[in-house]
């Protein structure tokens, strides 16, 4: 794991998420009400929804496509075996978001058994995201 | 090892249950599963169709497995092309489109279809059922019956068995005059003895259903549509709808043509394998096993278990030995359960009978050598759990057993719940036992809804709901909580919509975060945020403190998110009337941003699909047209026909009225989307009768106003709210109705559900007749919302939040 300097906290509106490019990886980062940040893999394991566009609150994240719900801290899914990867995130004194990301690429592959099985489906085939993945 | 190909012909309850059982045993790793179905949707609970007919359940609630289930489990569902042949030597299945599908293991679950007696006049010249005549088997049948029932006064239900009684009761709920026509001398003659049938007859009559016994239907009257029935004794019955519930026949033709062993059904051995075949199995109502063909759901579950054990090898010795039959009648107002034999059949049989005809109560049990072999419980089914259990297991009843069956001054019903062993299955549809319910309550679930959510108990056919409730109450030891949450606007705040609106006004709460902090105990339920944002905009209009994180992504970027994370853009084309200049601009934009698809929508607009988030502001600027709101829970579009301008049939100027309505109410926040229509004559080309609000021009320059119509997942003809004389009046009534709906509907409650919940008479009393003196206030409130309108696409020029239209934010340098 390596800690990276990501975007500034001001780049993400309060209560929302944005997809950030960090060290060649794409990560969904959320600026929670209260000022803390959380980081997860960029795409939903179900059908590849952009998680950064989801609704957050009470420590959960709802995927914008089909409403899969995940715990922002553990990555566990409600009513499903397949969770998401989460990454340690904090805000530096100068307002920079600091993310700890694994060194291996590509990113969202984790040890989570479910992910590998759904990975082919999870990759959106069409632009814009396909072009931006690598 | 190569994966084997498992084909399942039939996507009904039996086919789907068999696949579920196979998946449960790890079959998903071993098989590539393909299912063939006639009905183009996920599989649903056929038993609950009678509830849908009665309106006590919505058709969406009865799906067992939605289409996502197939995808999630890697199952290919081929719903378009029916199977027309099986070649068991080549081990392939042929579909109507000429494709051949090879299999390693084949499961035939073709089910059954309704049987119609040979009656004259049943069909028209085209061979189809005469208009107004229905069988009752599928969701399509149910939808067709409901649609016809709208315009019908009276219905004859032919067949006085389980299905006929349930169908009759359902149509009574829909306001029809119902007469059940039965061949036999007693209702439910397969399940009831004469005395029980007599009492049932009386109970049904008290509900308002007429019953005609010993009636042999000879002819369906009417030329182009049903006008009545004629009977063999020469009598007639006038009616404008006929439903046949005269039994089912197994679908065996496919198997017979393939050379499989077929008698009344497809003949299966104890392994659920088709006789003399190694790799062809069968399950469900198409099966004949040990001479029996079943038409109930419980045997099908048992067969599916054995079949799955065999196919997956989970238990290579599993055997099905036939099912014991127990039925429950799902007719509200009549409690009836029956199991086993109806009359004594053996000299060893002892019958105990208890009758209280005035109360509609009749109970009888038949005991053979200490074991229960048959029972009828009518009017009082408090002991049904205990009896079903004793019957299923063949347990020897205690010496004083017979008296125990009848609660005669004995202990109350809870004891029978307590007597049930933990592994007694309570919900047959979802396989939930008493022990499952008990341990669910032990984990802290304290409302029926929570327990049902966790276990799915009672969410199948629903016939066990009362029993589930009893067990949950018993397990909770009186700590069961009623579920007031059902009426709350959002789960986080214990208030109805009205109460919440009042509290918000009183405390001056202008933002979602303020509402959640003050009234929601500091929680921040993400599900609740969009609902609260909608409510605040309703209460405060322009003065609402717009926190963007409370909005769904569509409302943050004013476009509809697509499956690949791109968006669709629909500019407003009011009333579907556009110009060459607009079309040219749309074409230029599509070229400039290489829009992958341009689609004409059902609402008479043009949809640009596959636009990148980054491009949205540029696309809007170049279009130079306002948002069509094709993404929000809001007023969307008014579909119009060409009306008097060009149409030679037009009675009213529908185009002008539609454009005026859309211009006035564009983008109005609403509990769910609003799609409108205006038709220039009753030919209804713009489908105004199935819109949330629709106007249809009638003679004399007047407009009929329809509300609560739907033609999406749910199909419903709107209720006629009123007839107005002028276009101005039409616009005023539209605003008043929409405001009433905005203030009273639950979040995401479409008008078609809302109208069924509130009832058209009530809405008319408030909105049209002004019973409560509310009309002027409603008009003012909607005017305030109209005044607060601002085209959201203006945000192209000044984004509201940081990186509002960036799908990826680059790293800090």
Neighbouring CB atoms inside 10 A of B540's CB total 19
pTM confidence score: 0.53
- Comparing CB atoms, the residue among A15, A20, A60 nearest residue B811 is A20
Q: Do A12 and B809 touch (CB under 8 A)?
A: yes
DSSP conformational letter for A52: G
- Is the CB of residue B338 less than 8 Å from the CB of residue B376? yes
For chain B, the average pLDDT equals 89
Q: Do A48 and B549 touch (CB under 8 A)?
A: no
> Whose CA is closest to B627, among B787, B796, B783, B742?
B796
Q: Walk across the sheet containing B236-238 and list its strands.
A: B217-221, B228-231, B236-238
Q: Output the CA–CA distances (angstroms, integers) from residue A76 to A36, A60, B203, B439, in the order listed.
A: 19, 10, 53, 24
> Whose CA is closest to B668, among B639, B637, B692?
B637
Give the containing element (helix H, strand E) for B95: strand B92-95
Q: Mind listing the pLDDT tens digit for each residue in B737-762?
A: 999 999 999 999 999 999 988 999 99
Q: In whole angstroms, how large is the CA radius of gyration of chain A? A: 14
Q: Which residues of chain A have pLDDT under 50?
A: 106-134
Q: Do A21 and B529 touch (CB under 8 A)?
A: no
Q: Which two tokens stand for residue B616?
A: 């949205």
What's residue B411's pLDDT?
A: 42
Contacts of B611 in chain A (CB under 8 A): none
> Coil, strand, or helix at residue B189?
coil
Q: Which two tokens stand for residue B145?
A: 């019956």
Q: Which residues are CB-neighbours of B492 under 8 A, at least 6 positions away?
A: B516, B520, B521, B523, B525, B528
- The span from the CA of B389 to the CA of A96, in Å, is 66
The residue behind tokens 């009665």 is B54
Counting Cβ atoms within 10 Å, is residue B330 exposed (0-12), middle (13-18) or buried (19+)? buried
- Is the CB of residue B181 less than 8 Å from the CB of residue B156? yes
Q: Do A13 and B613 touch (CB under 8 A)?
A: no
Label each residue of B270-296 as H, E or C.
CCCEECCCCCEEECCCCEEECCECCCC
Q: Do B527 and A55 touch (CB under 8 A)?
A: yes
With the CA atoms of B523, B527, B530 and B536 taken in that order, what torsion angle do they form, in degrees rounded to the nearest 10?
-40
Shortest distance, CA B449 to any CA of chain A (angstroms): 16
Q: Mind listing the pLDDT tens digit for each residue in B437-446?
A: 888 888 888 7
Query: What is the CATH architecture assignment of B4-113+250-312?
Result: 3-Layer(bba) Sandwich (3.50)
Identify any residues that bridge with B281 across adjacent strands, giving them in sequence order: B107, B273
Residue in chain B nearest A51 by alpha carbon: B565
Q: Do B526 and A58 touch (CB under 8 A)?
A: yes
Q: Is A66 on the interface with B (CB under 8 A)?
A: yes
Q: Where in chain B is the domain with CATH 3.30.390.30?
A: 333-415
Q: Do A55 and B610 touch (CB under 8 A)?
A: no
> Coil, strand, or helix at residue B804?
coil
Mean predicted confidence (pLDDT) in B199-206? 90
Q: Output the CA–CA distances (angstroms, integers) from residue B177 to B186, B204, B358, B513, in the order listed.
A: 21, 13, 25, 53
Q: Do B811 and A47 touch (CB under 8 A)?
A: no
pLDDT for residue B627 is more than 70 = yes
Residue B221: asked if its preceding bond is cis (omega within 30°), the reply is no
Q: Is A50 on the interface with B (CB under 8 A)?
A: yes
> B481 pLDDT band (50/70/90 cuts)?
low
Q: Is A125 on the interface with B (CB under 8 A)?
A: yes
Q: Do B549 and A26 touch (CB under 8 A)?
A: no
> Whose CA is closest to B74, among B125, B170, B169, B6?
B6
Q: Which residues are CB-neighbours of B347 under 8 A, at least 6 positions away?
A: none
The residue behind tokens 């993310």 is A99
- The span from the CA of B582 to the CA of B99, in Å, is 46
Q: Is A38 on the interface with B (CB under 8 A)?
A: no
Q: What is the DSSP string of B539-572?
A: HHGGGS---GGGS-HHHHHTSEE-TTS-EEE-B-
Q: Best of A2, A16, A77, A95 to disrupt the B interface by mutation (most B CBs within 10 Å)?
A: A16
Q: Mind listing the pLDDT tens digit for each residue in B308-349?
A: 999 999 999 999 998 888 888 777 778 888 888 888 888 888
Mean predicted confidence (pLDDT) in B67-86? 88
- The span from the CA of B115 to the CA of B709, in Å, is 33
Chain-centroid distance, C-alpha B250 = 25
The residue behind tokens 């109502």 is B285
Can you identify the CATH homologous superfamily of domain B420-477? BFD-like [2Fe-2S]-binding domain (1.10.10.1100)
pLDDT for residue B91 is more than 60 = yes
Q: Do A57 and B556 touch (CB under 8 A)?
A: no
Q: Best of A15, A27, A28, A33 to disrupt the B interface by mutation (most B CBs within 10 Å)?
A: A15
- Is the CB of residue B179 less than 8 Å from the CB of residue B156? yes
Contacts of A13 in chain B (CB under 8 A): 548-549, 801-804
- Is the CB of residue B23 less than 8 Å from the CB of residue B35? no
Q: Which residues are CB-neighbours of B455 under 8 A, at least 6 positions away?
A: B427, B430, B432, B436, B437, B440
Contacts of A125 in chain B (CB under 8 A): 564
Q: Do B563 and A124 touch (CB under 8 A)?
A: yes
Strand B349-356 versus strand B326-331 pairing type? unpaired
What's residue B409's pLDDT?
A: 41
- The span from the CA of B457 to the CA of B474, in Å, is 15
Shortest distance, CA B805 to any CA of chain A (angstroms): 10
> B461 pLDDT band (50/70/90 cuts)?
low
> Whose CA is closest to B268, among B292, B297, B247?
B292
Q: Which of B433-437, B478-482, B509-513 has the lowest mean pLDDT?
A: B478-482
- The span from the CA of A65 to the CA of B44, in Å, is 24
CATH number of A2-114: 2.102.10.10
Shortest distance, CA A6 to any CA of chain B (angstroms): 5
- Is the CB of residue A58 less than 8 Å from the CB of residue B492? no
Residue in chain B nearest A128 by alpha carbon: B612
DSSP conformational letter for B669: B
What's residue A114's pLDDT?
A: 29
**Cα within 13 Å of Cα(B514), Cβ side:** 15
Q: Do B565 and A47 touch (CB under 8 A)?
A: no
Can you identify the CATH homologous superfamily of domain B333-415? FAD/NAD-linked reductase, C-terminal dimerisation domain (3.30.390.30)
What's residue A125's pLDDT?
A: 31
- Is the CB of residue B579 less than 8 Å from the CB of residue B559? no
- Class of B133-245 in CATH: alpha beta
Contacts of A12 in chain B (CB under 8 A): 802-803, 809
Shortest distance, CA B35 to any CA of chain A (angstroms): 21
Q: Which residues are CB-neighbours of B738 under 8 A, at least 6 positions away?
A: B635, B665, B668, B670, B674, B693, B782
pLDDT for residue B480 is more than 80 = no
- The span from the CA of B101 to the CA of B81, in Å, is 12
Give per-residue burial for B4-42: e unless 16+ CB within 10 Å, then b. Answer: ebbbbbbbbbbbbbbbbbbbebebbebbbbbbbbbeebb
How many DSSP H helices and E strands does chain B contain? 27, 40
Residue in chain A nearest B806 by alpha carbon: A18
- Is the CB of residue B209 less than 8 Å from the CB of residue B124? no
What's residue B61's pLDDT?
A: 76
- Comparing CB atoms, the residue among A10, A15, A23 nearest residue B549 is A15
Q: In whole angstroms, how large is the CA radius of gyration of chain B? A: 30
Q: Mind listing the pLDDT tens digit for each residue in B96-140?
A: 888 999 999 999 999 998 889 889 999 988 888 999 999 998 888
Counting Cβ atoms within 10 Å, is residue A44 exposed (0-12), middle (13-18) or buried (19+)? buried
**Percentage of chain B lying above the pLDDT 90 cut:** 57
Q: Mind listing the pLDDT tens digit for each residue in B17-46?
A: 999 999 999 999 999 999 998 776 777 888
Shortest distance, CA B68 to any CA of chain A (angstroms): 10
Q: Is A53 on the interface with B (CB under 8 A)?
A: yes
> B523 pLDDT band (50/70/90 cuts)?
confident
CATH number of B633-790: 3.30.413.10
Q: Do A61 and B526 touch (CB under 8 A)?
A: yes
> Whose CA is closest to B216, among B246, B171, B250?
B246
pLDDT for residue B199 is more than 80 = yes
- The span from the CA of B588 to the CA of B604, in Å, is 20
- The span from the CA of B82 to the CA of B109, in Å, is 13
> Coil, strand, or helix at residue B595?
coil
> Coil, strand, or helix at residue B142?
helix
Chain-centroid distance, C-alpha A121 = 17
Q: Which two tokens stand for residue B12?
A: 């009904």
């Amino acid at each position: 794991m390596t800690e990276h300097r990501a975007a500034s906290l001001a780049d993400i509106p309060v209560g929302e998420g944005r997809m950030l490019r960090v060290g060649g990886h794409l990560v969904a980062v959320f600026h929670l009400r209260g000022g803390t940040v959380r980081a997860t893999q960029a795409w939903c394991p179900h059908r590849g929804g952009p998680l950064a566009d989801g609704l957050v609150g009470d420590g959960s994240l709802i995927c914008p496509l089909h409403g899969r719900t995940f715990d922002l801290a553990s990555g566990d899914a409600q009513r499903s075996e397949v969770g998401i990867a989460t990454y340690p995130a904090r805000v530096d004194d100068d307002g920079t978001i600091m993310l700890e990301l694994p060194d291996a690429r590509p990113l969202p592959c984790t040890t989570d058994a479910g992910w590998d099985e759904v990975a082919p489906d999870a990759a959106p085939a069409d632009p814009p995201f396909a072009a931006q993945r690598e | 090892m190569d994966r084997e190909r498992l084909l399942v012909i039939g996507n009904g309850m039996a086919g789907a249950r068999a696949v579920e059982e196979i998946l449960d045993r790890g079959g998903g790793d071993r098989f590539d599963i393909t299912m063939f179905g006639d009905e183009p949707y996920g599989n649903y609970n056929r038993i609950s169709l009678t509830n849908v007919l009665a309106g006590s359940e919505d058709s969406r609630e009865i799906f067992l497995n939605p289409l996502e289930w197939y995808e999630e489990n890697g199952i290919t569902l081929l719903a378009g092309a029916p199977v027309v042949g099986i070649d068991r030597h080549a081990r392939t299945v042929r579909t109507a489109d000429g494709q051949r599908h090879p299999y390693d293991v084949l499961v035939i679950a073709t089910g059954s279809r309704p049987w119609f007696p040979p009656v004259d006049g049943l069909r028209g010249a085209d061979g189809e059922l005469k208009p107004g005549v229905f069988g009752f088997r599928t969701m399509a049948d149910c939808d067709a019956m409901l649609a016809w029932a709208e315009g019908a006064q009276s219905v004859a239900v032919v067949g006085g068995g389980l299905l006929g009684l349930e169908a009759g009761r359902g149509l009574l709920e829909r306001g029809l005059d119902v007469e059940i026509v039965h061949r036999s001398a007693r209702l439910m003659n397969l399940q009831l003895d004469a005395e029980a049938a007599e009492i049932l007859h009386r109970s049904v009559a008290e509900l308002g259903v007429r019953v005609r016994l010993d009636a042999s239907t000879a002819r369906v009257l009417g030329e182009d549509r049903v006008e009545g029935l004629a009977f063999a004794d020469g009598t007639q019955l006038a009616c404008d709808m006929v439903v046949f519930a005269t039994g089912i026949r197994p679908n065996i033709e496919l198997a017979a043509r393939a050379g499989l062993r077929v008698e009344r059904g497809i003949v299966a051995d104890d392994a659920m394998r088709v006789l003399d075949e190694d790799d062809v199995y069968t399950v469900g109502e198409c099966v004949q096993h040990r001479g029996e063909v079943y038409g109930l759901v419980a045997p099908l579950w048992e067969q599916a278990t054995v079949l799955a054990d065999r196919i997956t090898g989970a238990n290579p010795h599993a055997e099905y030995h036939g099912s014991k039959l127990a039925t429950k009648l799902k007719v509200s107002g009549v409690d009836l359960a029956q199991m086993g034999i109806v009359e004594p059949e053996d000299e060893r049989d002892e019958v105990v009978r208890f009758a209280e005809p005035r109360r509609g109560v009749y109970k009888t049990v038949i005991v053979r050598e200490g074991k229960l072999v048959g029972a009828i419980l009518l009017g009082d089914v408090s002991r049904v759990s205990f009896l079903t259990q004793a019957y299923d297991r063949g347990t020897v009843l205690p010496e004083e057993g017979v008296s125990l069956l009848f609660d005669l001054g004995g202990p109350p019903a809870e004891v029978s719940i307590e007597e049930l062993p933990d592994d007694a299955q309570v919900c047959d549809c979802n396989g939930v036992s008493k022990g499952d319910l008990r341990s669910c309550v032990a984990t802290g679930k304290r409302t029926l809804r929570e327990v049902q959510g966790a276990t799915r108990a009672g969410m199948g056919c629903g016939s066990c709901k009362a029993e589930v409730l009893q067990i949950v109450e018993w397990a909770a030891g009186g700590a069961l909580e009623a579920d007031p949450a059902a009426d709350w606007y959002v789960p986080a705040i214990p208030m109805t919509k009205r109460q919440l609106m009042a509290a918000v006004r009183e405390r001056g709460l202008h933002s979602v975060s303020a509402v959640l902090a003050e009234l929601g105990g500091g929680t921040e339920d993400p599900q609740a945020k969009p609902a609260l944002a909608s409510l605040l905009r309703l209460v405060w209009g322009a003065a609402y403190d717009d926190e963007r994180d409370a909005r769904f992504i569509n409302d943050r970027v004013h476009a509809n998110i697509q499956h690949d994370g791109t968006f669709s853009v629909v500019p407003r084309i009011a009333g579907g009337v556009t110009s060459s200049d607009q079309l040219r601009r749309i074409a230029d934009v599509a070229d400039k941003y290489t829009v992958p698809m341009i689609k004409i929508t059902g609402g008479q607009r043009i949809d640009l699909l596959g636009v990148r988030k980054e491009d949205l502001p540029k696309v809007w600027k170049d279009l130079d047209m306002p948002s069509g709101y094709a993404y929000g829970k809001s007023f969307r579009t008014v579909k119009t026909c060409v009306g008097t301008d060009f149409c030679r049939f037009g009675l009213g100027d529908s185009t002008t009225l539609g454009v005026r309505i859309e211009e006035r109410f564009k983008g109005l926040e609403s509990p769910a989307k609003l799609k409108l229509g205006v038709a220039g004559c009753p030919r209804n080309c713009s489908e105004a009768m199935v819109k949330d609000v629709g106007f249809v021009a009638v003679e004399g320059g007047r407009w009929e106003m329809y509300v609560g119509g739907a033609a999406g997942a749910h199909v419903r003809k709107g209720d006629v709210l009123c007839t107005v004389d002028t276009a101005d009046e039409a616009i005023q009534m539209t605003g008043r109705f929409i405001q009433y709906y905005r203030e009273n509907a639950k979040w995401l409650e479409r008008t078609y559900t809302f109208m069924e919940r509130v009832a058209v008479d009530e809405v008319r009393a408030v909105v049209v007749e002004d019973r409560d003196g509310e009309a002027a206030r409603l008009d003012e409130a909607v005017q305030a919302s109209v005044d607060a309108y601002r085209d959201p696409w203006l945000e192209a020029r000044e984004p509201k939040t940081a990186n509002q239209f960036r799908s990826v934010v680059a790293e800090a340098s």
